[in-house]
């Protein structure tokens, strides 16, 4: 008898930590409860719980014939007697006729003292109805067209012919105006591009070499990768040397990073350039050849480096400084 009493004293505190399931009330409904094939339905799980509890819907089973269109949208509100409500709204769609079982939902409630309540709530079934009649597979004759006695045929009416001609003329005018406008815009774009190429020859030369590399495509063998990355490194170093006015082709990557920081290039831009050159050296000298996707990404980085240099040159020219002239004086 004494042993039984001791056992009850040990088990009683542990059992007291589990709150009764009655303090959590779950209401589940379908809006609407009946749908047609493919129509979306709102699955609403409303949980009423104490103010000291945090509620979560851990898992909602999905039937094979149900697709989750939109994940849960959660909203909270106040209930009577200082209790709270948490509402989870799922959007689902059914793709099977008849009565579809939705399974169960797991509702978990956690108190401040660490005790928790876990409920498994059965979801109501969804009835999916057909939109066609049972005999729709039977072929039926088409309904004959209705004729108005004494009325002229459509192509014999003057209004129809005149309207068609006016519509055709308006369409032709719009087409000609669109072609003229497109031609004008194209000429302006080409003129602007020629002016920009004349204004920024260093960037255009670097882009021309990168375009030629892009036309050849990403490397497929080790030899092609070596040539590919050797050309990228050559373009980047030659551009930095021409635009910055320092011997980028004769510096190591560490020396180049220090020199770029001294020239006022942002640290993250310098790190970007050095990282690309280190991958080029790894392919050329260490025969670590990246895959095709990485090679395309590195070529894109080379384009970005050229455009970043153009942006820095534009900012400097706006302040009355000419980087090319400064580069010539530095040499």
pLDDT in tens, 40-79: 888 888 888 887 888 888 656 555 567 777 777 787 777 7
Region class of 287: left (phi > 0), else alpha (psi between -120 and 50), else beta: left
Mean pLDDT of the chain: 76
pLDDT for the residue 150: 64
Torsion of CA 161, 162, 166, 171, to 10 degrees: 0
Question: Residue 275 burial by CB count (10 A; 0-12/13-18/19+): exposed, middle or buried?
Answer: middle
Instruction: Give pTM, 2 decimals.
Output: 0.38
Q: Is the pLDDT of residue 266 over 70?
A: yes
Please list, in sequence order, all residues whose beta carbon lies within 8 angstroms of the beta carbon of residue 169, skipping any fewer than 6 positions away. none
Q: Is the pLDDT of residue 199 over 70?
A: no
Torsion of CA 268, 273, 276, 281, to 10 degrees: -130
- What is the C-alpha to C-alpha distance for residues 203 and 214, in angstroms, rounded to an integer? 16
- What is the C-alpha to C-alpha distance for residues 22 and 42, in angstroms, rounded to an integer? 26
Q: Is the pLDDT of residue 278 over 80?
A: yes
Residue-wise burial string across 135-165, b where 16 or more C-beta atoms lie within 10 A, e elsewhere? eeeeeeeeeeeeeeeeeeeeeeeeeeeeeee
pLDDT in tens, 131-182: 766 666 666 677 777 666 666 666 666 777 778 888 999 999 999 999 989 8
CB atoms within 10 A of CB 204: 15
Percent of the chain topping pLDDT 70: 76
- What is the C-alpha to C-alpha distance for residues 152 and 162, in angstroms, rounded to an integer? 15
Torsion of CA 302, 307, 312, 315, to 10 degrees: 180
Percent of the chain topping pLDDT 90: 4
- What is the C-alpha to C-alpha distance for residues 57 and 125, in angstroms, rounded to an integer? 19
Sign of CA dihedral 147, 150, 156, 159: negative
- Which H or E run includes 55? strand 53-60
């Amino acid at each position: 008898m004494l042993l039984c009493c001791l056992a009850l004293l040990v088990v009683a505190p542990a059992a007291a930590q589990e709150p009764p399931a009655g303090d959590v009330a779950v209401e589940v409904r379908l809006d609407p409860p009946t749908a047609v094939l493919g129509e979306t339905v709102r699955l609403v799980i409303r949980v009423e719980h104490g103010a000291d509890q945090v509620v979560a819907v851990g898992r909602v089973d999905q039937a094979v014939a149900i697709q989750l269109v939109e994940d849960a949208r959660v909203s909270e509100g106040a209930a009577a007697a200082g209790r709270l409500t948490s509402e989870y709204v799922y959007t689902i769609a059914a793709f099977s006729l008849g009565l579809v079982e939705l399974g169960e939902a797991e509702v978990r409630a956690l108190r401040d003292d660490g005790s928790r309540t876990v409920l498994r709530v059965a979801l109501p079934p969804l009835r999916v109805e057909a939109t066609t009649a049972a005999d729709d597979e039977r072929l039926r004759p088409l309904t004959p067209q209705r004729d108005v006695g004494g009325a002229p045929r459509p192509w014999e009416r003057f209004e129809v012919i005149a309207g068609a001609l006016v519509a055709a003329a308006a369409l032709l005018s719009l087409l000609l105006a669109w072609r003229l406008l497109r031609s004008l815009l194209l000429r302006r774009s080409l003129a602007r591009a020629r002016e920009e190429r004349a204004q920024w020859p260093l960037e255009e030369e670097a882009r021309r070499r990168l375009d030629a590399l892009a036309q050849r495509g990403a490397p497929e063998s080790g030899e092609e990768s070596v040539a590919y990355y050797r050309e990228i490194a050559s373009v980047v170093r030659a551009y930095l040397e021409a635009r910055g006015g320092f011997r980028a082709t004769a510096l190591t990557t560490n020396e180049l990073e220090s020199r770029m920081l001294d020239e006022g290039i942002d640290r993250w831009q310098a790190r970007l350039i050095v990282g690309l050159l280190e991958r080029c050296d790894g392919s050329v000298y260490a025969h670590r050849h990246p895959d095709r996707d990485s090679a395309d990404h590195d070529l894109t980085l080379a384009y970005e480096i050229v455009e970043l240099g153009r942006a820095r040159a534009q900012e400097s020219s706006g302040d009355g400084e000419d980087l090319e002239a400064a580069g010539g004086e530095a040499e």
